[in-house]
């Protein structure tokens, strides 16, 4: 949708050529105007469809009279999101592909029973070849390897590479399409989850996909900045269950037995939960997850979000946090893969900047992180962006922790990113050219799709 809109003359960088009308009568070469009208009509109808398929379940203000460190927070947060906090977990923060790809490939190489992998994008290339080799090697040695990709993933995933996986014994499936001819009525609904679970004991989640854009240390504009987590302990069972729900929806089969859900003893001291969100599983869990955490804040909110396009209730919840004296810092990418998404984001900043919310643009590379830290104790990391697509349209996953040590690690990473970011002042924001303000507001009309 965004790619379609960006083809409109209004969004082009080159000057817009206006047709001349020689004298009176019909314009010369009027067919471009007719086509433009048809295109605008398609865009309008598409916008109405997308808006109609956008979830807007929660409309009442979210207010809590206790912070995330209070036992009352976990007591409410867990049941509402369908996943209780469990103790005995270990959490390792992995920054950029230089750290998380080797860790993931090493875990795959050590698999003895099962590997379950779900991803949004899989693009053929260098890192793809490494995953194919690792997964195929384990499958040939009798490990049950299940791979689930979103319906958009095959666009960049070569048929030859998919065949290599299948021929080795990997069970490769496309989300919600048991057969190639299956048609998904709500094509606006995707799985945006990123999950890797090995032997039901070790799990990974975050924002990365299998694509060479993540291959490196975010040390150039071609390599994306990302945060993943490696977890072990009882919470991995919840992560496996999230994968199992989409596997069931796609194949009509259950994952059963100790190969997928083995007994797990304590592996650390971290209190954690893993939640799922999607139109069919916990509608708006992702949105509620963020809003409850923000409503609980008493000291600080630190957010890294690749796509920050808040709805009205999210803005009000952030403004109430500022009214309580909470410091709010938000890191967004200076480099982005969606100019329309960035414009739609800017259309939502005015009241937040006026209330003292601090915005920073990460400069070195595309910042694709999805990390929320509240009061230096609660951390949410996973596939959730701060936008309607993640909050209501897509299937998402998040690992939430209540642990000051884990939070300190994430805060150190956040502080390092701040050092490489430039603050956006209210004065700079208001001094944007008129045409940019107009473009931002127009793009904001389609914010339900970002």
Distance, in Å, from the CA atom of 220 to the CA atom of 44, rounded to the nearest integer, reads 38
List of E strands, 160-218: 171-174, 195-198, 202-206
Mean pLDDT of 239-255: 95
Q: Do both 392 and 427 map to the same domain?
A: yes
Run of H or E including 114? strand 114-119
Residues linked to residue 119 through DSSP beta bridges, in sequence order: 149
Mean pLDDT of 284-310: 96
Q: Do both 331 and 312 map to the same domain?
A: yes
Residues linked to residue 386 through DSSP beta bridges, in sequence order: 308
Q: What are the CA-CA distances from residue 429 to residues 233, 405, 425 (Å)? A: 45, 36, 6
Assigned domain for 79 exists: no
Q: Do both 235 and 140 map to the same domain?
A: yes
Between vectors from CA 160 to CA 154 and to CA 165, what angle results, nearest 5°?
Answer: 80
Q: Do both 240 and 122 map to the same domain?
A: yes
16 pLDDT band, cuts 50/70/90, is very low
Q: For the segment 167-179, what is each residue's pLDDT rounded down to a tens digit?
A: 999 999 999 765 5
Q: Do both 264 and 282 map to the same domain?
A: no
Residue 182 reports pLDDT greater than 80 = no
Q: Do both 434 and 294 map to the same domain?
A: yes
Residues linked to residue 216 through DSSP beta bridges, in sequence order: none
Last residue within a domain, chosen from 252, 270, 288: 270
Number of H helices, E strands in the chain: 15, 15
Mean pLDDT of 238-257: 95
Q: Do both 224 and 208 map to the same domain?
A: yes
pTM here? 0.86
Last residue within a domain, chosen from 253, 270, 287: 270
Assigned domain for 54 exists: no
Q: Which of 163, 116, 119 is nearest to 144 (CA)?
A: 116
Contact call for residues 227 and 95 (beta carbons, < 8 A): yes
* Structure token pair of residue 429: 């924001």
Domains held by the chain: number: 2
Distance, in Å, from the CA atom of 76 to the CA atom of 57, rounded to the nearest integer, reads 19
Q: State the residue for tokens 């050590």.
A: 110
Assigned domain for 83 exists: no
Run of H or E including 256? none
Contact call for residues 194 and 118 (beta carbons, < 8 A): yes
Assigned domain for 229 exists: yes
Mean pLDDT of 355-371: 97
Residue 42: per-residue pLDDT: 74
Residue 49: per-residue pLDDT: 59
Residue 8: per-residue pLDDT: 46
Q: Which domain holds residue 287?
A: 61-69+274-449
Q: Do both 296 and 412 map to the same domain?
A: yes
* Structure token pair of residue 44: 């309008």
Mean pLDDT of 130-149: 98
Distance, in Å, from the CA atom of 284 to the CA atom of 294, rounded to the nearest integer, reads 15
Assigned domain for 166 exists: yes
Please return the burial class of 271, using the count of CB atoms within 10 Å of its CB with bins 0-12, 13-18 and 19+.
middle
Q: 33-37, 245-249, 334-338: which range is least confident on average?
A: 33-37
Distance, in Å, from the CA atom of 144 to the CA atom of 287, rounded to the nearest integer, reads 34
Mean pLDDT of 231-243: 98
Q: For the segment 392-435, what is each residue's pLDDT rounded down to a tens digit?
A: 889 999 999 999 999 999 999 999 999 999 999 999 988 888 88
Assigned domain for 53 exists: no
Three-state secondary-structure class, residue 25: coil
Last residue within a domain, chosen from 270, 298, 322: 270
Q: State the residue for tokens 């309580």.
A: 324
Residue 43 reports pLDDT greater than 90 = no
* Structure token pair of residue 159: 């048929």
CATH code, domain carrying 206:
3.30.870.10
User: Which residues are the active-site residues?
Assistant: 192, 194, 199, 368, 370, 375
Q: Do both 306 and 320 map to the same domain?
A: yes
Q: Please give the mean pLDDT across all residues of the chain.
A: 88
Q: Do both 101 and 225 map to the same domain?
A: yes
* Structure token pair of residue 445: 């009309």
Residue 34 reports pLDDT greater than 80 = no
Mean pLDDT of 9-34: 49
Assigned domain for 378 exists: yes
Ranked by mean pLDDT, the top range of 43-47, 133-137, 148-152, 387-391 is 133-137
Q: What are the CA-CA distances from residue 118 to residues 45, 158, 217, 247, 320 (Å)? A: 32, 17, 23, 9, 37
């Amino acid at each position: 949708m965004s790619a379609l809109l960006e083809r409109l003359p209004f969004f082009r960088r080159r000057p817009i050529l206006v047709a001349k009308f020689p004298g009176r009568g019909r314009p010369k070469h009027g067919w471009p105007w007719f086509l433009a009208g048809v295109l605008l009509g398609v865009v309008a109808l598409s916008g109405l469809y997308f808006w109609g398929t956008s979830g807007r379940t929660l409309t009442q203000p979210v207010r809590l009279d206790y912070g995330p460190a209070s036992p009352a927070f976990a007591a409410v947060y867990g049941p509402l999101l369908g996943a209780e906090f469990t103790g005995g977990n270990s959490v390792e923060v992995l920054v950029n592909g230089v750290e998380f790809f080797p860790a993931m490939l090493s875990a795959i190489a050590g698999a003895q029973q099962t590997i379950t992998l779900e991803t949004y994008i899989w693009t053929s290339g260098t890192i793809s070849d490494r995953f194919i080799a690792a997964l195929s090697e384990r499958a040939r040695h009798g490990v049950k390897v299940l791979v689930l990709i979103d319906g958009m993933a095959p666009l960049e995933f070569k048929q030859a590479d998919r065949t290599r996986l299948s021929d080795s014994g990997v069970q490769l499936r496309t989300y919600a399409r048991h057969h190639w001819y299956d048609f998904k009525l709500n094509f606006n609904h995707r799985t945006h989850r990123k999950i890797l679970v090995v032997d039901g004991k070790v799990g990974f989640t975050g924002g990365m996909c299998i694509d060479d854009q993540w291959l490196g240390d975010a040390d150039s504009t071609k390599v994306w900045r990302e945060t993943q987590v490696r977890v072990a302990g009882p919470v991995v069972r919840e992560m496996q269950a999230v994968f199992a729900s989409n596997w069931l929806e796609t194949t009509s089969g259950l994952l059963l037995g100790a190969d997928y859900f083995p007994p797990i003893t304590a592996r650390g001291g971290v209190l954690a939960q893993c939640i799922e969100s999607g139109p069919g599983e916990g509608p708006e869990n992702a949105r509620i997850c963020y809003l409850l955490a923000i409503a609980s804040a008493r000291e600080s909110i630190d957010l890294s979000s690749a796509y920050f396009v808040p709805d009205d209730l999210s803005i009000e919840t952030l403004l109430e946090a500022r009214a309580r004296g909470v410091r709010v810092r938000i890191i967004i990418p200076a480099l982005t893969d969606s100019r329309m998404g960035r414009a739609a984001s800017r259309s939502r900043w005015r009241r937040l900047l006026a209330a003292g919310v601090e915005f920073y643009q990460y400069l070195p590379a595309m910042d694709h992180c999805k990390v929320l830290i509240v009061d230096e104790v609660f951390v949410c990391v996973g596939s959730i962006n701060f936008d309607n697509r993640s909050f209501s349209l897509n299937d998402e996953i998040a690992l939430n922790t209540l642990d000051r040590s884990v939070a300190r690690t994430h805060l150190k990473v956040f502080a390092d990113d701040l050092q490489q970011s430039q603050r956006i002042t209210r004065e700079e924001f208001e001094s944007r050219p008129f045409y940019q303000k107009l473009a931002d507001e127009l793009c904001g009309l389609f914010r339900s799709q970002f």
